Amino acid sequence: MADKLTKEQRHHCMSAIKGKNTGPELLVRQFLFSRGFRYRLNHPRLLGHPDLVLRKYRTVIFVNGCFWHGHDDCRYFRLPKTNIGFWKSKIERNKARDHREQCQLAAMGWHCITVWECQLKPQRRTQTLESLAYTLHRIFLEDRKTRTYGLPAEDDARIAAEPAVEYGEE
Ligand SMILES: [Zn+2]
């Protein structure tokens, strides 16, 4: 049993290193696509290489394996029986890096959503995906609200005046 788990966990590690097309990530992609959301995958220039980037929603989504990213209080997160020290420090570093990158992304104005692998197991999948869609819609509405409040009429007038000056100089 322990050996089997270890093998599974190793497999998760390999998927995480390659960072592409793991089962859980595909589930999220297929669901979002079927609901009309459009996204980019593994944006190369964006910090932390999020699995999905939804520019329209200013949102990045990480689909994280519970072992590799050290999901707290999760029954799928169990350290292998061998090399415990090695795995422990490796996963602590991963967690610290995830946290740091998400703070930086948030500072750049991105909403960060993490979907955990265990939340995509069959019995929780529907609920997880539905609440993901709900969260995205809510983010979209709240962003629009913020933008409307942030643009006073005076600014609009100033922006409209600028192109006229540029044309005049040509
Ligand atoms: Zn988990």
How many whole angstroms from 67 Cα to the centroid of ligand 1? 8
Tens-place pLDDT, residues 70-117: 999 998 888 888 999 999 999 999 999 999 999 999 999 999 999 999
Q: How far is the CA of 127 from the centre of ligand 1 (A)?
A: 15
Q: What is the reported pTM?
A: 0.72
Q: Which residues surround ligand 1, an ion (CB under 5 A)?
A: 66, 71, 74, 76, 116, 118
Which H/E stretch holds residue 128? Answer: helix 122-149
Q: Which residues contact 81 (CB under 8 A, 6 or more apart)?
A: 2, 6
- d(CA 166, CA 170) in angstroms, rounded, equals 7
CA 10–ligand 1 middle distance (angstroms): 16
Ligand 1 midpoint to CA 72 (Å): 7
In this model, does residue 7 exceed pLDDT 90? Answer: no
Q: Domain 17-141 belongs to what architecture? A: 3-Layer(aba) Sandwich (3.40)
Domain range annotation of the chain: 17-141
pLDDT score recorded for residue 12: 53
